[in-house]
Amino acid sequence: MSKLSRRTQSPVPQPQEEIRPFDGLERIQPHAAGVDIGAHEIMVCVSGPDSTQIVRAFGTYTVDLEALADWLKGHEIETVAMESTGVYCGFRCSSCWSSADSTVASSTPPVASASEGRKSDGLDCQWLQTLHSYGLLADSFRPDADLVPLRTLLRHRAQLVQHRSPHILHMQKALLQMNLQLPQVLSDITGETGLRIIRAIVAGERDPHTLAALRNSRCHKDEPEIALALTGTWREEHLFVLQQSLALFDFYSQQIAACDAEIERTYCATRPDWNIPEPDLAEIAHKPHSHSKKKAPRRPGARALVPHHRR
């Protein structure tokens, strides 16, 4: 046989060994389901007879979620695994799990999509159900039902604080553009002294000594130094920005205060038997204060304390 014919000859196919990745493992959760949640469709996979898998699609309306809960209950599902998909994971399907008396083990997306080629929703829910039935998914943290409203309020408060922060920067920028170096003499312009001065500027006060006299008695800077920092150019466009930024800051501050009141009401209703002792004022007075404390809600049952940095 010539060399050319030997080169063009196709190789002899070798027998391939069948790969069974779950051989040797025991199904520790036979009544497990896998769920892939989409914006318009929910794919669910449960175990069928003879270790087969049954996949069914459901809608996302409330009636569809109730039907899904009944379907899970009909297949005697005890535990459900789904990808961590934010609000879908916490709220859209919570009624399903509670109605079906099922627990939830939520896997992270990297774990759920560890196998290549599983891109469709149907295959994803099958893969989740397989992993969960063999106990290969870690449970995610799910708070008690009575703590869910409190968590929602705390997350909303954090967003309010986040939305308020840019308006503080806008006030600082407007002051600096008028060469009013208030941020240099005050560590926090939204403290008691800073807000007094800013409100007076917005109200029409321009005399630096009059503005400096508004300082809190415990402020580290004296009046002459603050007066020097408040000597600048009063430009109408920057004063307008300062006025609107202050109004937005006040609006979000009011919303945060209202949210704090609702958090305290919800907390007291959730944990009425928790007796929180009054804080030791002498001990707190000697502790260094952190700027991050004013972003935290006031602890329910404790008296409000004004930190030094807000003076």
Compute the 3-state secondary structure of the chain and give helix, strand, coil in percent, each to the nearest 5. Answer: 50, 10, 40
Mean pLDDT over the full length of the chain: 78
The closest alpha carbon to 128, from 22, 46, 34, belongs to 34
Cα–Cα dist 204/42, whole Å: 59
* Burial of 27: CB neighbours in 10 Å, binned 0-12, 13-18, 19+: middle
Strand order of the sheet with strand 103-107? Answer: 53-58, 42-47, 32-37, 79-83, 103-107
For the cut 50, the answer to whether the pLDDT of residue 309 exceeds it is: no
- Percentage of the chain modeled with pLDDT above 70: 67
- Determine which of 132-141, 152-161, 298-307 has the lowest per-residue pLDDT on average: 298-307
Could you report how far apart the first and last alpha carbons of the chain are, in Å? 98
Cα–Cα dist 216/230, whole Å: 16
Residue-wise pLDDT for 58-117, tens only, equals 988 889 888 988 899 898 888 888 876 655 554 556 555 555 555 666 555 545 554 555
pLDDT value at residue 17 = 52
Identify which of 49-53, 221-225, 247-251 has the greatest average pLDDT: 247-251
Task: Please enumerate in sequence order all residues whose Cβ is within 8 A of that of 130, keeping only pairs 6 or more positions apart, or say none.
Answer: 22, 34, 53
Residues 272-300, mean pLDDT to the nearest whole number: 57
pLDDT value at residue 119 = 61
pLDDT confidence tier of residue 303, bands split at 50, 70 and 90: very low
For the cut 80, the answer to whether the pLDDT of residue 220 exceeds it is: yes
The pTM of the full predicted model, rounded to 2 decimals, is 0.68
Residue-wise pLDDT for 245-259, tens only, equals 999 999 999 999 999
Better-predicted residue by pLDDT, 265 or 142: 265
Task: Please enumerate in sequence order all residues whose Cβ is within 8 A of that of 272, keeping only pairs 6 or more positions apart, or say none.
Answer: none
Cα–Cα dist 131/284, whole Å: 51
The alpha carbon torsion through 71, 76, 79, 84 (nearest 10 deg) reads -10
The HSE-up count of residue 91 (CA atoms within 13 Å, CB side) is 6
Q: Which three-class secondary structure state does DSSP give residue 175?
A: helix
Give the Å distances, CA to CA, from 186 to 49, 85, 103, 178: 72, 43, 52, 17
- Determine which of 92-101, 206-215, 257-266, 300-309 has the lowest per-residue pLDDT on average: 300-309
- Determine which of 99-103, 197-201, 227-231, 305-309 has the lowest per-residue pLDDT on average: 305-309
Helical residues (DSSP H) of the chain, grouped into ranges:
3-8, 62-74, 87, 94-99, 109-112, 121-133, 148-177, 182-185, 192-203, 208-212, 223-229, 236-270, 281-285
For the cut 70, the answer to whether the pLDDT of residue 158 exceeds it is: yes
Give the Å distances, CA to CA, from 296 to 256, 257, 260: 10, 11, 9
